[in-house]
């Protein structure tokens, strides 16, 4: 029987996301704190003559050619490290079919494509018996995209540069989130273009020290989450609101309900570049909050998530 390898990788939320003015290379400097969530995509890898992929679940209509990060991750790994395979296969003949099960929203600000790429790197390192270490996988991840290194790492991390330079952040607390999904995606490049058009961003983004202090601080349980809710922020909210008035309306409505004390949540913020909206709440109140949000916003889907969650790993 052909060997099958399964890897899993998490979605994410940016607890805080500060964005600077674009650099000479066109990228915006970021200062962010990532949290990995237990909403995960899986990649099942099996040896095959060529590199191919399929998708089930969310995003079944996505492209499955070499424009997809999964194929790009596989090709990068093959080109750079295929010669290290311990299989009785010529490096040029290495191939795999990659079956992706998607639960993370597409174009939703939760880095679903990055999670798929991270899971692919982990799966093929095992399937092709490449013997790569974590730093080698991280280097490949950073070439594929700004969020891929964190999908590999998981947990909580402070990210700078494009978000790929990571330092682990310690916290013993669990954070509960309701992720409010929008059926209409929002392009990350479009949000950054609108950010520039609006003239936003400092040359160096503000530090994320307040969030890191809360995460590592002495407050526990509900007190910890209340404090965290007071310091969450996302500099991409304004351009996302400009592009999508419907997203602005949802955020404003939730904030008004939180301020009135009728929603049982601590904070609301845009997740990454959106349009997914993240609502921070107590872990034991997530199900009731999700139901209430779906009542408030018919047609939207509320997904319960907790973090920090493990990064990309081999399931089997």
For the record, the structure tokens of 2 come out as 């052909």
> Does 73 belong to an annotated binding site?
no
**Residue 66 annotated as catalytic:** no
Question: Cβ contacts of residue 9 below 8 Å, gap of 6+?
Answer: 40, 41, 43, 115, 116, 118, 119, 122, 151, 152, 311, 312, 313
What is the number of other CB atoms lying within 10 angstroms of the CB of residue 285?
15
Q: Which of 61, 147, 210, 252 is catalytic?
A: 147
> Does 106 belong to an annotated binding site?
yes
Locate tokens 């351009």: which residue? 239
Cross-strand pairs, 157:
34, 168
CA torsion sign for 312, 105, 211, 309 is negative
Do the strands 313-314 and 4-19 form a parallel or antiparallel pair, or are they unpaired? antiparallel
> Does 229 belong to an annotated binding site?
no
**Residue 2 annotated as catalytic:** no
> Does 113 belong to an annotated binding site?
yes
> Does 110 belong to an annotated binding site?
yes
Nearest alpha carbon to residue 22 among 30, 14, 10: 30
Cross-strand pairs, 270:
277
Q: How many CA atoms lie within 13 A of 177 on its CB side?
A: 31
Q: List own/partner pairs for 258-266 with CB under 8 A and 24 or more apart.
A: 263/289, 263/292, 264/288, 264/289, 265/178, 265/229, 265/289, 266/225, 266/226, 266/228, 266/229, 266/230
> Does 111 belong to an annotated binding site?
yes
Extended beta strands in 182-283, E state? 233-234, 265-270, 277-281
> Does 107 belong to an annotated binding site?
yes
Q: What DSSP designation does 273 have?
A: T
Q: Which of 12, 31, 41, 78 is catalytic?
A: 12
Residue numbering of the annotated binding site: 105-115
Show which residues are catalytic: 12, 147
- Which residues fall in the annotated binding site for ATP? 105-115
């Amino acid at each position: 029987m052909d060997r099958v390898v399964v890897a899993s990788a998490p979605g994410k939320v940016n607890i805080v996301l500060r964005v600077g003015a674009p650099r000479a290379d066109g990228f915006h400097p970021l200062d962010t704190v990532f949290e990995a969530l237990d909403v995960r995509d899986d990649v099942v890898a099996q040896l095959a003559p060529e590199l191919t992929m399929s998708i089930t679940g969310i995003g079944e209509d996505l492209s499955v050619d070499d424009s997809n990060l999964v194929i790009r991750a596989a090709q990068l790994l093959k080109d750079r490290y295929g010669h290290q395979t311990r299989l009785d296969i010529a490096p040029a003949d290495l191939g795999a079919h990659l079956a992706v099960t998607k639960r993370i929203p597409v174009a939703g600000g939760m880095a679903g494509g990055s999670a798929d790429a991270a899971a692919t790197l982990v799966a093929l390192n095992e399937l092709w018996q490449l013997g790569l270490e974590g730093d080698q996988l991280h280097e490949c991840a950073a070439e594929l995209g700004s969020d891929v290194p964190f999908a590999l790492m998981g947990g909580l991390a402070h990210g700078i540069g494009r978000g790929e330079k990571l330092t682990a952040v310690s916290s013993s607390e669990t954070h509960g989130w309701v992720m409010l999904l929008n059926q209409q995606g929002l392009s990350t490049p479009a949000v950054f273009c609108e950010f520039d058009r609006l003239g936003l961003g400092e040359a160096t983004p503000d530090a994320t020290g307040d969030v890191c202090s809360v995460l590592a601080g002495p407050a526990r349980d509900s007190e910890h989450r209340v404090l965290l809710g007071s310091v969450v922020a996302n500099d991409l909210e304004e351009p996302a609101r400009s592009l999508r008035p419907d997203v602005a309306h949802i955020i404003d409505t939730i904030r008004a309900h939180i301020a009135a004390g009728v929603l049982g949540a601590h904070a609301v913020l845009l997740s990454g570049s959106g349009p997914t909206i993240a609502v921070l709440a107590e872990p034991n109140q997530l199900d009731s909050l999700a139901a209430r949000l779906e009542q408030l916003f018919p047609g939207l889907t509320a997904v319960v998530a907790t973090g920090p969650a493990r990064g990309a790993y081999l399931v089997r």
